[in-house]
């Protein structure tokens, strides 16, 4: 039963904490661009306003896609360990590949529902998002394989425990951590990798047809996705600690990603692919080689 309470806590933190952080990110970007920016709670206002409006639905698959997206994101966010074995809701199931593929349910649901809306903008956006996935997942998964090979486990809470004795992976394999962070920016869809939404070119891509509660629900889904993506990075590279430390590390990673993204322009699709399959993939293999040879700190 405690597993269920812990999973619910995961979801509550994911909701309030990440949506506040999204507001803070808007504030940071605004300050860098010498604007005042909205208040930190602006995203809560946006979501509740969207949820309360009368929406338009483009057919049953549109509704089903939104439900599948949110459902998949909730399921994944519920498994993520938060920095220690104690805050691991399902210690038998927090396997890395399970999390990555369960996470894909949400992406597939979103892609399906949005293309189902019948708007060509959405279809173009989804095709871009899937191509981008091919770009960032490859270096990320190679780095993760080397992490799992080194510690002989793919269970996230065991990897956190191993780091407690061995030192953070950020220090043990700095190259791998850097590659994973670059992939994380792509996963979050922040600039320079916001190709899929690209508001100026394709009318926010997949979101073109969203109105009212559909927009609100997908914003909540987006918050859960950020929780999964950044949470995994913190767990795997920044060691463990209490729940408070986990959240502090979460904020640091998120602010760093925001700072980087707010000064960069957008890549084109093939530039993005060439970038990810160039230096980051090469470094990921170099990191794997170091792990094989035992050249870790």
Report the site for another protein in 264-293 (rule: CB under 8 A).
268-270, 273-274, 281, 285, 288, 292
Could you give the angle at which helices 120-151 and 174-188 cross, rounded to 10 degrees?
160
Is residue 290 within 8 Å of 296, Cβ to Cβ?
A: yes
Which residues, numbered 215-254, are part of the site for another protein (CB under 8 A)? 216-217, 220
Residue 117 touching another protein (CB under 8 A): yes
Q: Smallest distance, Å, CB 21 to another protein?
A: 21
Q: Smallest distance, Å, CB 107 to another protein?
A: 8
**Cβ proximity to another protein, 208 vs 232, nearer residue:** 208
Asked whether the CA dihedral 203, 110, 18, 136 is positive or negative, the reply is negative
Q: Which residues of 108-143 are buried (b: 16+ CB within 10 A; e: fewer)?
A: ebbbbbbbbbebebbbbbbebbeebbebbbbbbbbb
Residue 120 touching another protein (CB under 8 A): yes
Is residue 103 within 8 Å of 228, Cβ to Cβ?
A: yes
Interior angle at CA 245, CA 243 and CA 248, nearest 5? 115
**Cβ proximity to another protein, 57 vs 262, nearer residue:** 57
Interface residue with another protein among 145, 166, 262, 296 (CB under 8 A) is 145
Stretch that binds another protein, among 20-28, 91-99, 241-249, 256-264 (CB under 8 A): 91-99
Which residues, numbered 14-73, are part of the site for another protein (CB under 8 A)? 51-59, 61, 63, 66-68, 70-73
């Amino acid at each position: 039963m405690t597993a269920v309470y812990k999973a619910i806590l995961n979801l509550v933190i994911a909701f309030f904490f990440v949506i506040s952080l999204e507001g803070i990110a808007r504030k940071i970007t605004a300050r860098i661009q010498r604007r005042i920016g909205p208040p930190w709670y602006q995203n809560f206002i946006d979501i509740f306003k969207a949820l309360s409006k009368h929406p338009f639905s483009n057919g049953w698959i549109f509704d089903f896609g939104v439900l599948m997206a949110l459902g998949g994101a909730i399921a994944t966010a519920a498994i993520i360990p938060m920095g220690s074995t104690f805050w691991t809701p399902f210690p038998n199931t927090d396997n890395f590949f399970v999390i990555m593929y369960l996470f894909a349910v949400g992406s597939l649901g979103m892609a399906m529902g949005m293309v189902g809306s019948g708007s060509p903008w959405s279809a173009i956006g989804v095709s871009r998002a899937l191509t981008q996935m091919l770009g960032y997942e490859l270096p990320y998964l190679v780095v993760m394989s080397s992490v799992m090979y080194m510690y002989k486990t793919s269970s996230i809470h065991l990897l956190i425990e191993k780091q407690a004795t061995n030192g953070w992976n950020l220090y043990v394999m700095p190259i791998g951590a850097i590659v994973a962070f670059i992939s994380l920016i792509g996963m979050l869809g922040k600039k320079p990798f916001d190709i899929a939404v690209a508001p100026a070119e394709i009318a926010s891509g997949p979101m073109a047809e969203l109105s009212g509660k559909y927009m609100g629900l997908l914003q909540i889904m987006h918050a859960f996705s950020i929780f999964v993506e950044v949470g995994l990075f913190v767990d795997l590279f920044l060691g463990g600690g209490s729940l408070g430390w986990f959240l502090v590390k979460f904020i640091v990673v998120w602010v760093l990603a925001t700072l980087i993204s707010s000064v960069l322009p957008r890549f084109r699709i093939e530039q993005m692919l060439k970038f990810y399959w160039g230096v980051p993939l090469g470094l990921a293999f170099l990191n794997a080689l170091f792990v094989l040879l035992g050249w870790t700190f």
